[in-house]
Structure 1
Amino acid sequence: MFAVRGGRSGKGLKSVKARKPAPYRAPSLADDGLMILPRPARRMMRFVIALCSGKVAVPEHLGKVSFAAYVVAVAGFGIVRGGHWPDFAEAMTSTAGFAVEDVKLSGNVHTSEIDVLQSLGLDGATSLVAINADDARRKVAALPWVEQVEVRKIYPRTIEVNIKEREAYGIWQHGSDLSLIEKDGSIIAPLRDNKFATLPLFVGRDAEAAAQDIAGEFAAWPKITGRVKAYVRVASRRWDLYLDNGVVVKLPEDDVDAAMARLAKMDADQQLLDRDIAAVDLRLSDRMTVQLTPEALARRQAAVTARAKALAKAEKET
């Protein structure tokens, strides 16, 4: 055997380290430049191949169920796409036993039940499920006499409507039209019948707005206001009172209390308003002017003429 020794110069053979062999890697499709599917897709592909090859058993009614699901999906898409879903849902729920059969209406005096049903759009097949309570409330509140309304759905077939109506205060005549008004002057509805004939009549521009002050302004004179048939607004500044016997009382723009006090005193002392007069003018604070009717004026002129003749005859005789 031979031994190798290193010399003094330090030269000699170098030691060589042993290298570990590389692990074995099986060849893949990537080595051939082909695309590798993700793991879920590979599983799906294997399932499809197994299904096509008959290795996976297909449920007996899968085809029928799949076809039915397809038909339902297509029909549902068509209904939604065509905007027929509300009608479809209403028809289905109505058929299921939720059709409105009873309407409980309360609080209405001047509002007819037919108007309420028409505003709600009930036709005998309307589904309670399809009714929106807020929309129904707004529709009923749009009726002329309705001030407040509550709408409740009581399942399965009942809808409850509770109405609070507006209160008529007077009749406003504007031109040839007559309208019922509230105390604040708000118009309720056109006057259609004579059941409100006892309400006071307000005539003229802005008369409906000024009507709310009438009750307080003439509260101290019930004997006179009880005979008033119409309050006529003149130039949006003052009132003329038309009494039940045709007498017109012309009031001033200011200090109405003083004018009414003078009128009440003259009527109490001399029954002024029951005489054959046409008008009483109280617009001036220092005087009262009384206008006679044409018949009373003719009689007065005849009396004056007769008196003048009698005086002339008496002078001749003396």
Structure 2
Amino acid sequence: MASLLGFRIEAIVVTGQMELTTEEIVDAVGLDATRSLVFLDANVARGQLLALPLVESASVRKFYPDRVEIAVTERKPFAVWQQEGSFSVISADGTSIDSARDGRFSHLPLVVGEGADAAAGEFLPVLAKFPGVAKKTYGAVRIGDRRWNLRLTNGFDVKLPDEGVEAALAKLDGLIRDGKIMSRDLVSIDLRDKKRTLVRLTPEAAKTAREAMAKAKKAGGQT
């Protein structure tokens, strides 16, 4: 009856969307040309929009006799989260907002493991303070939901501490700038102990180091 009285929805204005299409937003609210403005509950419609993972905030306003205005703010893609073989795009608060189906999000940092989604929002801004480290980082792996390992682009791992992460990253940044740790002879570097840095060599490099030490020791004994 309301539509017969001139309250049929004739105009739908949608603003603020970036990744979502207008059609996806309209469909989420269930609007169409047969819907009456009188019977549209703006609060319910807003709740339907907030149920979309990409939507951070939304408003729905009715303007009689025939117009609806919808405004949305989308969550911004922040990182790609890998968990048990699946890849999801997450926002800074850890919400999964999309699947990483193609290369659109390949520029985003990669975080891996249980709890990495929730912890990324705190960790990645700290990592970003050290562009030299971030550039050399392939991905950040969450360990026991309490600390991080970095997998560098040359394939070896950096073990970061539970606390004092920024200081450890500063040390790592210095080592990278000095060209001391990007050698392929390394397997991992352990920065969990702030008093010392532990380095693990590849088996081949370790063998070479042992032979060199034995040779030096032997030469020293002959003098």
Alpha carbons 2:46, 2:58 under 8 Å: kept? yes
Which of these residues, 107, 111, 115, is aligned with residue 206 of structure 1?
Answer: 115
User: Deviations along 1:237-270, whole A, 9 cap, x unmatched?
Assistant: 2211012232321223343344334433333333
State the match for 2:49 in structure 1. Answer: 140
Indicate yes or no: 2:173 matched with 1:267: no
User: Deviations along 1:31-86, whole A, 9 cap, x unmatched?
Assistant: xxxxxxxxxxxxxxxxxxxxxxxxxxxxxxxxxxxxxxxxxxxxxxxxxxxxxxxx
Alpha carbons 2:185, 2:201 under 8 Å: kept? no
Aligned CA distance change for structure 1 residues 101 and 177 (closer, same or farther; 3 Å): same
User: Deviations along 1:70-123, whole A, 9 cap, x unmatched?
Assistant: xxxxxxxxxxxxxxxxxxxxxx22234332222110000122212212122223
Alpha carbons 2:154, 2:184 under 8 Å: kept? no
Alpha carbons 1:282, 1:289 under 8 Å: kept? no
- What are the equivalent positions in structure 2 for 1:293-312 lying under 5 Å apart? 297=204
- In structure 1, what is the Cα distance between the partners aligned to 2:182 and 2:205? 19
Which of these residues, 168, 175, 196, is aligned with residue 77 of structure 2?
Answer: 168
State the match for 1:253 in structure 2. Answer: 162
* Secondary structure of 1:226's aligned partner: helix
Return 5+ residue gaps in structure 2 as ranges.
219-223
Which of these residues, 66, 89, 106, is aligned with residue 15 of structure 2?
Answer: 106
Greater strand content: 2
- In structure 1, what is the Cα distance between the partners aligned to 2:43 and 2:170? 54
Alpha carbons 1:170, 1:181 under 8 Å: kept? yes
- In structure 2, what is the Cα distance between the partners aligned to 1:252 and 1:148? 36
Please identify, of 110-119 and 264-273, the stretch whose mean Cα deviation from structure 2 is larger: 264-273
User: Deviations along 1:216-256, whole A, 9 cap, x unmatched?
Assistant: 54354221122212110112222110122323212233433
Alpha carbons 1:148, 1:163 under 8 Å: kept? yes
1:290 deviates by: 3.3
Indicate yes or no: 2:76 matched with 1:159: no
Alpha carbons 1:172, 1:208 under 8 Å: kept? yes
* Secondary structure of 2:35's aligned partner: coil
1:147 deviates by: 1.4
Alpha carbons 1:202, 1:208 under 8 Å: kept? yes
With normalisation by structure 2, the TM-score equals: 0.80
- What are the equivalent positions in structure 2 for 1:186-205 lying under 5 Å apart? 186-205=95-114
- What are the equivalent positions in structure 2 for 1:52-131 lying under 5 Å apart? 92-131=1-40
Counterpart of 2:38, as a letter, is: V
- In structure 2, what is the Cα distance between the partners aligned to 1:299 and 1:237? 31
Greater helix content: 1
State the match for 2:145 in structure 1. Answer: 236
Indicate yes or no: 2:190 matched with 1:291: no
- In structure 2, what is the Cα distance between the partners aligned to 1:278 and 1:242? 10
- In structure 2, what is the Cα distance between the partners aligned to 1:206 and 1:161? 34
- In structure 2, what is the Cα distance between the partners aligned to 1:107 and 1:227? 35
Counterpart of 2:55, as a letter, is: V
1:129 deviates by: 2.0
- In structure 2, what is the Cα distance between the partners aligned to 1:286 and 1:211? 27
Counterpart of 1:182, as a letter, is: S
Q: Answer with 1 or 2: which has the greater Rg.
A: 1
User: Deviations along 1:1-42, whole A, 9 cap, x unmatched?
Assistant: xxxxxxxxxxxxxxxxxxxxxxxxxxxxxxxxxxxxxxxxxx
State the match for 1:314 in structure 2. Answer: none
The alignment of Structure 1 onto Structure 2 pairs a total of residues equal to 215
Please identify, of 196-205 and 255-264, the stretch whose mean Cα deviation from structure 2 is larger: 255-264
Please identify, of 185-194 and 239-248, the stretch whose mean Cα deviation from structure 2 is larger: 185-194
- In structure 2, what is the Cα distance between the partners aligned to 1:120 and 1:237? 40
**Alignment identity in percent?**
36
State the match for 2:191 in structure 1. Answer: 282
- In structure 1, what is the Cα distance between the partners aligned to 2:13 and 2:105? 28
- In structure 2, what is the Cα distance between the partners aligned to 1:134 and 1:189? 25
- In structure 2, what is the Cα distance between the partners aligned to 1:156 and 1:175? 52
- In structure 2, what is the Cα distance between the partners aligned to 1:108 and 1:221? 32
User: Deviations along 1:162-181, whole A, 9 cap, x unmatched?
Assistant: 11111222122221222222
Counterpart of 1:187, as a letter, is: S
Return 5+ residue gaps in structure 1 as ranges.
1-91, 312-318
Counterpart of 1:127, as a letter, is: S
